A and B are shown apart, each in its own frame.
Chain A
Amino acid sequence: MRFMVIVKANADTESGRLPTAEELGAMHEFNEGLVKDGVLLAADGLHASSKGARMRFGGGGKPVVTDGPFAETKELIAGFWLVQAKSKEETIERFSRCPFESGEIEIRQVFEADDFGDALSPQAREFEARRRG
């Protein structure tokens, strides 16, 4: 199974401050450990929300676009990892070694084909029907 580990934004990440060489080094070492263990699938850091935008859907028309920055810092994300693991506990254990001095990360399981169960069936059946033509 896979987990997305989401790094929450804070005043620091929102300020656009770049990490120090020391912080980068520690994170590089941590990521290298994930690579060596064959579990890191993808990871990236995100620019401050001032470089982003929000699109709000509803009301039937075109979505409403609002440019960043956004005020509610703790609702924002600053980066993510995508890892393969046998369990949530394994992910927690791995990320307890993550070199953060402060802040918060959130661990979320990624949907796999099996997780959809019956919900997948109508779509898959339709595809099946189309392919049989």
Chain B
Amino acid sequence: MSADAKAAIDAVWRIESPRLIAGLARMVRNLDRAEELAQDAFVSALVQWPETGIPRNPGAWLATVAKRRAIDAIRRQKRLEVKQTAMHRELESTQEFDDPFAATDDIDDDLLRLIFVACHPVLATESRVALTLRLLGGLTTTEIARAFLVSEATIAQRIVRAKRTLSEARVPFETPDASKRAPRLSSVLEVLYLIFNEGYSATAGDDVMRPGLCEDALRLGRVLAELVADETEVHGLVALMEIQASRSKARVDALGAPILLMEQDRTRWDRVLVARGLTALRRAEKLGGTFGPYALQAAIAACHARARTGAETDWARIAALYDALAALAPSPVVRLNRAVAIGMAFGPAAGLELADALVSEPSLRAYHLLPSVRADLLKKLNRFSEARSEFERAASLARNTRDRDLLLERAAACRF
């Protein structure tokens, strides 16, 4: 087969496999078996399509082949267990699969079930991530391994283990009921944001595959936002990811070192993604209700995105949003960011008071940004010698030479 034909069939897999696997999983009630059936159908496609060309509706073609096999298998099993009425019902319900064009709503429901199952809390986080990218992102094991800088065997093992765990725990192929919906949904959001950050924290020079993870996470977030359009936090997460991704061209310099938000060249922010992020945030706002941590972070990111220059930033609003975020998720890093925002909004003395309160915080003891923030505020208060020693302390804690050099330069500038 030519490389073109292979690439075209790979593309069909990426587009069609999530819905195909989701539909099959509903039918056979087993994720592993569903994936196997989907892959078998693709093997048939690999044999036939180079001869016949890719059909006009490849999804329907694959669904027909896979479902026919699934029905054959169920019938064989049924002959063995004739008395099982449950199987009867299953067989009846599979009749509708003879028509490959199942109603769109059904496919959407199947896809949502697949997302919830792949992100089930019974699974280790790394397994959820691998399973989600494989089943919903349509990525191959090789691609996932490359993206996470681990061996293919490791990813393959995580996926095998995840499927075994799901089947041992008898996790039903269902969307969670109302009582479990909130924690299950936050597990899904956590997985998506983890994938996004895995891609986002990698610098451009590291590996060209990694920006792909941001796109995968964003795409899955957008898919989820269409499936569960009534959840504020889903739109919040999408907004947060769109706005963060909009800065990707501006956030590292030519040598791959990070550029802080306030120092970024805003003309390099991606306007399409900013607009999409602001639209997603509006969808969250329209739903009403209180914002969760993702929507709050998105609202903060939106304040920066709306400001044409750093000087136009609405710090009072950011400070208020950090107040709300700190009340919801009171982590020391959130409190430090809040101190920065309050320092910008209400003057360095107010910010310093909050930053000082974090000095005894054990988890920030080795965090260079705490002394760096304090140094900034001290400098603005004209307390230069204190600022200088804080910049020096920050430099001693910095994890890379570029940050260290920058902090030492700033220490040296505190001479007046």
Interface positions of A (Cβ within 8 A of B) = 1, 35-39, 41-42, 82, 84, 86-87, 89-90, 92-94, 96-97, 112-114, 120-121, 124-125, 127-128, 131-132
Contacts and interface: CB of A to CB of B under 8 A. Distances in A.
B11 A89 contact: yes
A125 B253 CA distance: 7
A25 to B, nearest CB: 15
Contact of B253 (A86, A92, A127): A127
Interface of B: 4, 7-8, 10-12, 14-15, 54, 56-58, 108, 204, 208, 211-212, 215, 218-223, 226, 248-249, 253-255, 259, 263, 265, 272-273, 276, 406, 409
Contacts of B218: 38, 84
Contacts of A113: 204, 248-249
Contacts, number: 76
A98 to B, nearest CB: 12
A93 B13 CA distance: 10
B15 A94 contact: yes
Given A36-B223, A114-B204, A124 B253 contact: yes
A89 B4 CA distance: 8
Given A93-B54, A113-B204, A131-B259, A86 B212 contact: yes
Contacts of B10: 87, 89
Contacts of A94: 15
- The SS class assigned to the B binding surface is helix
B267 to A, nearest CB: 10
A128 B252 CA distance: 10
Nearest to B205: A114
A90 B259 contact: no
Given A36-B108, A37-B15, 9 more contacts: A35-B226, A37-B223, A87-B10, A89-B7, A89-B8, A93-B58, A96-B54, A112-B211, A128-B254
A29 to B, nearest CB: 10
A87 B211 contact: no
29 contacts: A35-B222, A36-B223, A37-B15, A38-B219, A38-B222, A38-B226, A41-B276, A42-B272, A82-B272, A84-B218, A86-B14, A87-B7, A89-B4, A89-B7, A89-B10, A90-B11, A92-B8, A93-B8, A93-B11, A93-B12, A113-B248, A113-B249, A114-B204, A121-B254, A127-B265, A128-B253, A128-B254, A131-B259, A131-B263
A109 to B, nearest CB: 14
A92 B219 contact: no
Majority secondary structure of chain A interface residues (helix, strand, loop or mixed): helix
Contacts of B273: 41
Contact of A84 (B215, B254, B255): B215
Contacts of A90: 11, 14-15
A84 B263 CA distance: 28
B130 to A, nearest CB: 18
B11 A37 contact: no
Give the top 3 A-B pairs by smallest Cβ distance, nearest first. A38-B222, A124-B254, A38-B219
Contacts of B276: 41
B220 A38 contact: yes
Contacts of B12: 93
A35 B227 CA distance: 11
Contacts of A86: 11, 14, 212
A1 B223 CA distance: 18
A37 B272 contact: no
A125 B221 CA distance: 34
